[in-house]
Chain A
Amino acid sequence: MTDGNFVKVGMADLNVAAEGAVLKTTGLGSCVGLTLFDPQRQVAGMAHIMLPSSDIAREGQLNIAKYADTAIPELLNRVVQLGADRKRLVAKLAGGAQMFAFAGGSDSLRIGPRNVESVKRELDKWAIPVMSEDTGGNYGRTIEFDSRSGVLTVRSVQYGVKEI
């Protein structure tokens, strides 16, 4: 969905942009917003990843944008199709918060940190360096990625606007 110069990325969704269009995803909690960027070609991709691994999937038709291990190869393909050079790609990530804290919380309640770990492990596999990140904490984030400058703008209720 394109709204003016914005390209919206929904929950468990991914998309790509170029020519100065801005990728945006809202309300990241324990989900991780990942961006891939080729600075030279100014081509960018964004994924809103919800769960760490497709191993736990029980759905009939797998939504590959939902899981870290399936979303990253797909996003990589999509930015390369749009003209990015795989060797130049750099990553930024935000989100992976733990929205609610419980004493002795079970594994499913640690989903934010686990998403971040899983995304980094997958990026490592593809040898894509992480340039910067704003992850963890206990608050939600909305992010925008400028496909020209490669700046990731992170907005939160508590901490306002931050560029990474």
Chain B
Amino acid sequence: MKLFNHNPDFKMDVLREVGNIGAGHAATALSRLLDKPVDMAVPTVSFVPFESIADRVGGPEEVVVAVFLRVDGDAPGNMFFLMSRLQAKLLLQGLAGFEPAGDGGYSELELSALCEIGNILAGSYLSSLADLTGLAMSPSVPSVAVDMAGAILSYGLLQFGTMGDDALLIDTTFLRGRQEAEGHFYFIPDPESFEKIFVSLGVPLE
């Protein structure tokens, strides 16, 4: 992307901080929901080739649980809350004492609860970004899928698809305790949104 030709390291740092603030609020929300500490790793911000977008969650064929939200407003984009199937079950158990179904499937109620968790987390992520930037950003109605990571994540790449073969991804890992991953929060702003984010934060474009 041309926007990143000038001073790319600084711009990446700004986006990392954006991710840090957003995910920090989301982690706090999750911690309140579960009534236990939730840690997070420093967000990684990078251009990821489409081909390897699913590598961090176990590869394109790995079955994951994903809540997807479209971000509407001044700086639109795509947002995913991704978990392994085990993590999703633990989350449901921790939240509302859902007993795991023996077949590894999910009831309507469980899927709906996951959607709502995604909604709350994305809401706190975005409202903190909106406060920071003064841009209007609101999540769409969330949608949940249990499927191959490649099939799910490629859906968030379409806006970048017309621009090239990689996407700029802000990835934050949530941690249960100190090591075990709880889930991933992916924020993929549309290519046009970066300029707006930078301008709103007073980052010089040139």
Binding site for B on A (CB under 8 A): 10-13, 26-31, 50-51, 56-60, 63, 66, 97, 99-103, 108-109, 111, 138-142, 156-158
Contact = CB atoms under 8 A, between A and B. Distances in A.
Interface in B149-202: 149-152, 154-155, 157-159, 161-165
Interface stretch (B4-12, B37-45, B89-97, B137-145): B137-145
A30 B61 contact: no
A63 B60 CA distance: 21
B157 to A, nearest CB: 8
B20 to A, nearest CB: 27
A50 B165 CA distance: 11
Interface of B: 50-51, 54, 59-61, 63, 68, 70, 140-141, 143, 145-152, 154-155, 157-159, 161-165
Contacts of B50: 10-12, 50
A12 B161 CA distance: 9
Given A27-B148, A157-B63, A66 B161 contact: yes
Given A51-B162, A59-B164, A102 B151 contact: no
Contacts of A158: 147
A139 B68 CA distance: 14
18 contacts: A27-B148, A27-B149, A28-B151, A29-B154, A57-B162, A63-B165, A66-B165, A100-B145, A100-B155, A102-B70, A102-B140, A102-B143, A109-B70, A138-B145, A140-B148, A140-B151, A140-B152, A158-B147
Q: Which 4 A-B pairs have the closest CB atoms?
A: A27-B150, A140-B151, A29-B151, A27-B60
B143 A27 contact: no
A152 B161 CA distance: 26
Contacts of B63: 157
B159 A29 contact: no
Contacts of B60: 26-27, 142
Nearest to B59: A26
Given A57-B162, A102-B141, A103-B141, A29 B68 contact: no
